Amino acid sequence: MLYAVLMPSAPPPFPESVQPSGEPQLLQLSSVEDEPCLRADAARNRARLLEAADRLIAEHGVDGVTMEAVATAADVGKGTVFRRFGDRTGLLMALLDHSAKKLQADFLGGPPPLGPGAPPVDRLRAFGVAVLYRSAEQLDLRLAAQAGPNRRYAHPSVQALSMHVTVLLRQIVPDADCEVLAQVLMGYLDPGLIHHLTRERGMPMERLEAGWTDLVARVTQTRPPA
């Protein structure tokens, strides 16, 4: 489940006298295939295609996932795969949707400090750590699914994460340009950077986690945890 993202390119700032106290409501992905009105047979086809793609990843890695291979594995026409997902990137992004929904459920309704009930700066730290480790677990898939600049930042899952960070920042540093700061923080969690630091530079995840904690402290002008 993800935040609604059908919004103006720049959401209006919170009034100075009002701070965002609640959590945004969980909403359905904007993808047509996930809408309740989707025909039952189309929904079954989509689920079968995703199951086939999961099997291909398990057997051959992400490189083994092509539109043709998925169609063959699911015993459907190649055109069906293109109609459901648009292209390979759309298919791979759909595979990541389940993980994205789980993460959203955790930070919107799970236990603190990731979920509600903890101070916003603690939630922001926990959010980054959760994204870091989940990205590391799915790094090859996330890299393969990463769209070009014209699509990467517009995807609902990416916008939902950025919105969550923006909401937390508005509670911590309300006088800052929180939308811009949110993008700075999200840049640290980019799968490409995680790949570079862990696989090309050999940095352990513990160092990336410490770096995130330090970055949050500097951006929010708060003390890091002892």
Does this model's pTM top 0.75? My answer is no
Would you state the pLDDT for residue 42? 75
Confidence of residue 56 (pLDDT cuts 50, 70, 90): confident
- Tell the burial category of 135 from Cβ atoms under 10 Å away from its Cβ (0-12, 13-18, 19+): buried
Q: ∠ at Cα 106 (209, 37), nearest 5°?
A: 130
Q: 96-220 adopts what CATH topology? A: Tetracycline Repressor; domain 2 (1.10.357)
Q: Is the pLDDT of residue 219 over 80?
A: yes
Whether 189 contacts 131, CB under 8 Å: yes
51-to-22, 45, 95, 102, 201 alpha-carbon distances in Å: 36, 10, 9, 18, 34
Which of 95-109, 143-157, 181-195 comes out lowest in average pLDDT? 143-157
Find the Cα–Cα–Cα–Cα dihedral 163, 141, 184, 170, rounded to 10°. 20
Would you state the pLDDT for residue 38? 54
Q: Is the CA virtual torsion 44, 49, 50, 52 positive or negative?
A: positive
Would you state the pLDDT for residue 16? 37
CB atoms within 10 A of CB 34: 17
Whether 158 contacts 152, CB under 8 Å: yes
Would you state the pLDDT for residue 224? 87
Would you state the pLDDT for residue 30? 40
Please name the CATH architecture into which domain 32-86 falls: Orthogonal Bundle (1.10)
* Helix 40-60 with 88-109: angle, nearest 10 deg: 100
The counts of H helices and E strands in the chain are 11, 0
pLDDT in tens, 112-139: 999 999 999 999 999 999 999 999 988 8
Q: Is the pLDDT of residue 52 over 60?
A: yes
Report which of residues 213 and 38 the model is more confident about.
Answer: 213
Report which of residues 32 and 131 the model is more confident about.
Answer: 131
Report which of residues 106 and 61 the model is more confident about.
Answer: 106
Confidence of residue 53 (pLDDT cuts 50, 70, 90): confident
pLDDT in tens, 129-183: 999 999 998 888 888 877 777 777 877 888 999 999 999 999 999 999 999 999 9
Closest CA to 168 of 23, 26, 27, 29: 23
What residue ranges do the domains of the chain occupy?
32-86, 96-220
